[in-house]
Amino acid sequence: MERFSHDLVIVGGGAAGLRAAIAAAEESPHLDIVIISKVYPMRSHTVSAEGGLAAVLRDYDTLDLHAFDTVKGSDFLADQDAVELFTREAPKEIIQLEHWGCPWSRDPDGRIAVRAFGGMSVKRTIFAADKVGFHLLHTLFQHSLKYDNIQRLDEWFVTSLVREGQRVIGATALDLRTGTMAGLTGKAFILTTGGAGRAFQFTTNGMIKTGDGMAMAYRAGAPLKDMEFVQFHPTALPGTGILITEASRGEGGYLRNADGDRFLKSYVPGKMELGPRDLLSRAIMTEIREGRGIEGPYGPHVHLDLTHLGRKVLSERLPMVTELAEKYVGINPEEESIPVRPGVHYMMGGVHTDATGQTSLAGLYAAGETACVSINGANRLGSNSLTECLVFGARAGLAAGRYARQASEVELPTEAVQAEEARLYDDLLGRERGGRGVAEIREELQTTMEDHVGISRDAASLSEATKVLARLKGSFEKVEVADKDRVFNTELTSVLELESMLTVAEAIVHSALRRTETRGAHFRTDFPERDDENFLAHTVVTQGETGPEIEYLPVTITRWKPEARVY
Amino acid sequence: MPSTWWLRNPRYFLYMLREVTSIFVYLYALAFVVQFLLLADRGLFDAFRVLFTSSVFRAFTGVVLVMAVVHAITWWSLNAGVFRIRLRGRTLPPAALFAGGMLAWIVVSGLVYLLVFRGF
Amino acid sequence: MADEIILRVTRYRPEQSPLPFHEDFAVPFRNDMMVLDALAYVKDHMDGSLAFRWSCRMGICGSCGASVEGTPRLTCSTFLHEIRKPIVRVGPLGHFPVIKDLVVDMDDFMRKLQQVMPWIIRESEKPLERGEYSQLPEQVELYRQQSLCINCMICYAGCPVYGLEPEFIGPAALALAYRYNVDTRDHGSKERLARLIGRTGLWECTYVGECSVVCPKNVDPAGAIQRLKAPGAIQAIQILLPPILRR
């Protein structure tokens, strides 16, 4: 058994994790920081973000307007103090990334360019063509190589957090290359492991997005918040779920139904294609349900029409969309419309934190999609999430770094690692003959979430989902692991990932069942109205003895009173 | 890596071929230098003239010409994408550079021919 | 085409056998199936022990490089039908030590990335409050192509020089050095070049050009390396000059 000790342990190497590491390293060159991740940093799912990130850089724009757009987009569930802080710190982060070399697209005069995005009143989305996440991630990763006090444990899977009282003092981790377990002592931990889109069947998310950080925190006793709010991105490619960026609509693309109509005029006439994602996804599903979808090999879809944008816009501003359409659908977007349908994209919910990233446990922080501060409420606006990774990644890095510097020395007990060794080696790898395979259980989980916890839900579908999940948890107890090797056992990691997804799915379903209203992305067909009387509140779910325990926390409202959300 | 690695794919093979063409150019240059050195002694030069006008040497010269042409074409097709030459605010496309390079090569060859055989 | 295809995978399981071996898997074929989909099918339905890396399945995360029919490619962006063979051979990327099956050791590559100092080096920092460094679109264009590298290491698998001389810094890392050297915001080109003009750097490249052919993102590392050679040569000569003659 190996043992490591660091001041600050960051779990996850995407935008939030790297930004946290750099912030902590800059503030204190003597702080011993490690980024531990199940993949190399460049593989993190930040890389797949396409459209852009929002911040107020222009004179015509104001911080208040960005904050109001975000609050309205959130269906008034965002904490307004956090949103105001977010919009205030966002511009600085964009400039900081520019100084670190990020190749933002530019205006002819050399300034950072901005584009339109859904739910934003004015053009305020900064971009680097349509490979924004890619450039952001690689800039952060490359810049992080500069710091001697940032170390990395690449391809290590953190399997659990270890507590001493109400403080997290360590973690257990599996070195994928050798298959050995290690104990990781840390004075402070930050979880930046992204969301859990892979718990659903049809998702824009990469296969690594299995909610490990959320599940880990939840099992360690830190509550999750607002988990019922799952964002469906309106435009994903049928079949693969590959994301076609909202920037394609920001640049002027149209959504059309089978009749060729821009059907959004009946749903969000004021915003049309630039309406918020929850309303657009629901509109598309309504069109399909009412028979105005287009049939395809992967079910009905609608069309994203970019043919009028012209070659210059497509090649300079949307090269990736062009590439993806050509490669994966075999069409030239200059001449043909792209088939699209809504797919699971983002978790508004996550580990409950304050605006410094601090969770309910001492020494444990979270940032990015893993966390729920909340600035996204019931529906995140497109291009706010990458900015969130930067703003709250940096804040968590600073806060956790400061905590680590003043915190007392801790020592991870050997028994904690031994217990985890026993679970993985003896229980999982050691079992002679298991039950169902990991892929089979995972597929049933994904179809269940898709069918019963999708864009529209009701009491019956959600109750059904709780039953299936309970059964799947039973199956999981006896899951078969055929591969007994230690070295790079990806079947074992699939099992650990499935465990995370089951945990997160359970939190989602129970939170959704209890919220008997419709708000943002949480659309209850049996309760189609927003109910501010009872549910202008955050759902907080804790792992109890017999299952998820749910409480509600008030929403912080500073300046914008809830009003009807009309676009 | 096995010493036959360059047989593994046609592009490696073409690369090796390009490298080999330079050996021929080198050999020709060597023969050329020898001719110059021999010029110091008229008798010796005449004795070797038979060799340099032989059909074998002519054939060798022909092969060298082919190799030089292959080398020039592949060199320009590779390097046309490397140079970034800006003209009136636009970067020249590689195809234009390739054509320009080949044209320059033909013009220079023509000038040398005129200089040597016509003496202006 | 047939409704089934044979995936012939070069496998290596150090705990089972000291030598690599081949294993055939008969996978149901769909016309829109990528090599990666076939691998995932094997893992989910036939043999869970098959190890390979993948995540984004849209050609941007760079995880899933493998040798397909002898050519290094992203398996998520290679259609099975492109190959037009009833048996498709898949193996680990060449020139790298294999950890297991299609999973190769990336340590050397990661070291080389860091070696070229891929970050902006400034003589003085402009305070954030004073905004961005101005950069015209054509100045972005100078380095844009080389900034598109996804670190998939396919160029290393294609580069025979790296195969023969593992110390060679290699295509992707050198392209990255170029990317920062021509960025108008950067002042570190001398420092960076100093690391490239040694025995394992620029001069090792004999311009086979395969890296640029196999690159799935059209980064053109070969071109970038050639463009570094002129300033590299000037700097190498300057080092030999007495200090007074150096610029």
Chain C residue numbers touching B84 (CB-CB < 8 A): 227
CA atoms within 13 A on the CB side of A165: 4
Say what the pLDDT of residue C143 is.
97
Residue A431 confidence class, pLDDT cut points 50, 70, 90: confident
Phi, psi of A399 (to 5 degrees): -65, -45
B5, B79, B82 member nearest C160 (Cβ): B5
Residues 6+ away with beta carbon under 8 Å from A123: A58, A114, A115, A116
Chain C residue numbers touching B82 (CB-CB < 8 A): 223, 226-227
Residue C247 confidence class, pLDDT cut points 50, 70, 90: low
Residue ranges of domains in chain B: 5-117
What CATH number matches the domain at A415-554, 1.20.1250.20, 1.10.357.10, 1.25.40.10, 1.20.58.100?
A: 1.20.58.100
Say what the pLDDT of residue A435 is.
87
| Spatial CA neighbour of A417 closest among A3, A58, A74, A27 | A3
Residue C246 confidence class, pLDDT cut points 50, 70, 90: low
C16, C120, C126 member nearest A100 (Cβ): C120
Chain C residue numbers touching A109 (CB-CB < 8 A): 134, 136
Chains C and B touching, counted as 3 or more CB pairs less than 8 Å apart: yes
Chain C residue numbers touching B9 (CB-CB < 8 A): 70-71, 210
- List chains adjacent to chain C, taking adjacency as at least 3 C-beta pairs closer than 8 Å: A, B
Q: What is the mean pLDDT of residues A309-315?
A: 95
**Given the DSSP bridges, would you call strands A114-115 and A125-126 parallel, antiparallel or unpaired?**
antiparallel
Say what the pLDDT of residue A401 is.
98
Instruction: Map residue C29 onto helix, strand or coil.
Output: coil
| Spatial CA neighbour of A25 closest among C110, C119, C188, C185 | C119
B12·C207 Cβ contact <8 A? no
Q: What is the mean pLDDT of residues A240-249?
A: 96
Q: Which long-range contacts (CB under 8 A, 24 or more apart) does A413-417 make?
A: A413/A162, A414/A1, A414/A183, A416/A160, A416/A162, A416/A170, A416/A172, A416/A183, A417/A1, A417/A3, A417/A172, A417/A181, A417/A182, A417/A183
Chain C residue whose CA is closest to B7: C160
Chain C residue whose CA is closest to B84: C227
Helix H or strand E segment including C74: strand C71-74
Say what the pLDDT of residue A142 is.
98
C208, C220, C222 member nearest B12 (Cβ): C208
Chain C residue numbers touching A489 (CB-CB < 8 A): 49, 51
Instruction: Map residue A209 onto helix, strand or coil.
Output: coil
Residue C2 confidence class, pLDDT cut points 50, 70, 90: low
Say what the pLDDT of residue B72 is.
86
- List chains adjacent to chain A, taking adjacency as at least 3 C-beta pairs closer than 8 Å: C
For residue B75, pLDDT over 90 is answered with no
| Spatial CA neighbour of C168 closest among C227, C223, C112, C118 | C112
Q: Which of A177, A488, A498 to mutate against chain C (most C CBs within 10 Å)?
A: A488
Chain C residue whose CA is closest to A14: C61
Give the closest-approach CA distance of C139 to chain B in angstroms: 12
A154, A482, A487 member nearest C100 (Cβ): A487
- List chains adjacent to chain B, taking adjacency as at least 3 C-beta pairs closer than 8 Å: C
Q: What CA–CA distance (Å, rounded) separates B17 from B12?
A: 9
Residue ranges of domains in chain A: 2-49+130-230+346-412, 234-341, 415-554
Instruction: Map residue A242 onto helix, strand or coil.
Output: coil
Say what the pLDDT of residue C23 is.
98
Q: Where in chain C is the domain with CATH 1.10.1060.10?
A: 107-246
* pLDDT tens column, A502-525: 999 999 999 999 999 999 999 999
Q: Where are the alpha helices (DSSP H) in A407-554?
A: 414-421, 438-452, 459-477, 490-514, 532-535
* Cβ proximity of A175 and A183 under 8 Å: no
For residue A245, pLDDT over 90 is answered with yes
* pLDDT tens column, A442-460: 999 999 999 999 999 999 9
Residue owning tokens 């420092």? C191
Look up the CATH number of domain C4-104: 3.10.20.30
* pLDDT tens column, C216-227: 999 999 999 999
The CATH architecture to which C107-246 belongs is Orthogonal Bundle (1.10)
* Cβ proximity of C178 and C225 under 8 Å: yes
Q: What CA–CA distance (Å, rounded) separates A211 from A505?
A: 9
Percentage of residues of chain B with pLDDT beyond 90: 38
What CATH number matches the domain at B5-117, 1.10.730.10, 1.10.150.120, 3.40.50.1010, 1.20.1300.10?
A: 1.20.1300.10
The CATH architecture to which A2-49+130-230+346-412 belongs is 3-Layer(bba) Sandwich (3.50)
Chains B and A touching, counted as 3 or more CB pairs less than 8 Å apart: no
Give the closest-approach CA distance of A269 to chain C in angstroms: 33
Q: ipTM exceeding 0.95?
A: yes
Residue C244 confidence class, pLDDT cut points 50, 70, 90: confident
Which sequence positions of A are flagged as catalytic?
A: 233, 249
Query: Is CATH 3.40.50.11540 the classification given to domain A234-341?
Result: no
